[in-house]
């Protein structure tokens, strides 16, 4: 069968020159393919290493977060230990009278207030202030001619704010609107 296509060279006429050119081109493509396969293998290895490193980093970070959660209040508790020791020492004193115990408890309370304030805790004691539903919880209302309506006239339980966030509202008695 004879090739009639003018664009395709006839190998019989070239005398094998076309075979050498094709073989050289195939060889060049094979070399290029081998180089690309090596590059691909290296890229895959790099990706696997990076993936493993990211996973290890994630595990380390999770372990650090867990440790931080476990020991987050270590500083606070360390600061509370002297308060604990003071109360325990006062209770262990068998010879102490009521006045001495009261003085010891008062000192321990002052120590506790100092520690809590240093850690962002503030007391909400709204006696004779206007009722604030954001920080106070009214548990009763009373009639009074001495105070304006919605004024706190008794604090049943003090409230606490931790770093501008309400931790516990103050339980209060408020003057009724007449």
Residue 157 belongs to a domain: yes
Residue 95 belongs to a domain: no
Report the pLDDT value the prediction gives residue 5, as an integer from 0 to 100: 58
Residue 94 belongs to a domain: no
Domain extent for 170: 120-178
CA distance 147 to 127: 11
Q: 0.85 exceeded by the pTM?
A: no
Q: Around Cβ 89, how many Cβ atoms within 10 Å?
A: 12
Angle separating helix axes 98-118 and 74-92, nearest 10 degrees: 180
Residue 41 belongs to a domain: yes
- Over the chain (178 residues), the average pLDDT of each successive run of 10 is 56 61 92 96 97 97 94 91 92 86 92 94 95 96 92 96 96 91
Report the pLDDT value the prediction gives residue 8, as an integer from 0 to 100: 55
Residue 43 belongs to a domain: yes
Residue 39 belongs to a domain: yes
* φ, ψ of residue 128 in degrees (nearest 5): 65, 20
Residue 154 belongs to a domain: yes
Domain boundary among 48, 70, 92: 70
* φ, ψ of residue 130 in degrees (nearest 5): -65, 145
Query: Hey, CA dihedral for 60, 62, 65, 70, is it positive or negative?
Result: negative
The enclosing domain of 167 has a CATH number of 2.30.22.10
Q: What is the number of structural domains in the chain?
A: 2
Report the pLDDT value the prediction gives residue 177, as an integer from 0 to 100: 85
Could you tell me which of 161, 155, 122, 123 has the C-alpha nearest to residue 137?
155
Report the pLDDT value the prediction gives residue 4, as an integer from 0 to 100: 60
Residue 83 belongs to a domain: no
Residue 25: exposed, middle, or buried by beta-carbon count in 10 A (0-12, 13-18, 19+)? exposed
């Amino acid at each position: 069968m004879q090739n009639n296509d003018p664009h395709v060279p006839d190998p019989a006429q070239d005398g094998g020159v076309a075979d050498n050119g094709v073989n050289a081109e195939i060889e060049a493509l094979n070399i290029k393919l081998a180089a690309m396969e090596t590059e691909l293998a290296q890229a895959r290895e790099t990706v696997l290493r990076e993936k493993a490193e990211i996973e290890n980093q994630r595990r380390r970070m999770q372990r650090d977060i867990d440790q931080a959660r476990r020991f987050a209040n270590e500083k606070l508790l360390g600061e509370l230990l002297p308060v604990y020791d003071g109360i325990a020492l006062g209770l262990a004193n068998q010879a102490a009278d009521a006045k001495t115990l009261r003085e010891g408890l008062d000192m321990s309370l002052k120590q506790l207030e100092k520690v809590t304030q240093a850690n962002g805790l503030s007391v909400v004691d709204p006696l004779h202030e206007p009722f604030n539903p954001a920080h106070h919880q009214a548990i009763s209302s009373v009639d009074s001619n001495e105070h304006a309506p919605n004024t706190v006239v008794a604090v049943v339980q003090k409230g606490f704010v931790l770093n501008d966030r309400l931790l516990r509202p103050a339980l209060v008695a408020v003057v009724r609107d007449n």
